[in-house]
Amino acid sequence: MPFLHGFRRIIYEYQPLVNAVMRVVGIEEKEGGNESSLEEDSSRCSSLVALLEQESQSEVFLEGISYALFKVAERGLVNAANILLRYGADINFEYPVSYYNPLHIAVLRNRPNMVRLLVGHGADIEKRDRIHESSPLDLASEESERLPCLITLLELGADVNAKDKHGKTPLLHALASSDGLTVHNTENIQLLLKRAVEKPYKQEPPTNYLL
The mean predicted confidence, pLDDT, of the chain is: 86
pTM given for the model: 0.85
Kindly give the parts of the chain with pLDDT less than 70: 1-11, 28-40, 179-180, 200-211
pLDDT at position 207 is: 47
pLDDT at position 206 is: 45
Please report the sign of the dihedral spanned by the C-alpha atoms of residue 131, residue 69, residue 27, residue 40: negative
Q: How many CB atoms lie within 10 A of CB 166?
A: 8
Q: How far apart are CA 27 and CA 60, in angstroms?
A: 21
Percent of the chain with pLDDT over 90: 67
Kindly report the backbone phi and psi dihedral angles of residue 104, in degrees, each rounded to the nearest multiple of 5, phi listed first: -60, -50
Q: How many CB atoms lie within 10 A of CB 113?
A: 16
- In the chain, which segments carry CATH 1.25.40.20? 125-201
Helix, strand, coil percent content, the chain, rounded in steps of 5: 55, 0, 45
CB-CB contact of 115 with 125 (8 Å): no
pLDDT at position 147 is: 97
CATH 1.25.40.20 is right for the domain spanning 125-201 = yes
Q: How far apart are CA 108 and CA 112, in angstroms?
A: 10
Kindly report the backbone phi and psi dihedral angles of residue 185, in degrees, each rounded to the nearest multiple of 5, phi listed first: 55, 35
CB-CB contact of 65 with 17 (8 Å): yes
pLDDT at position 31 is: 45
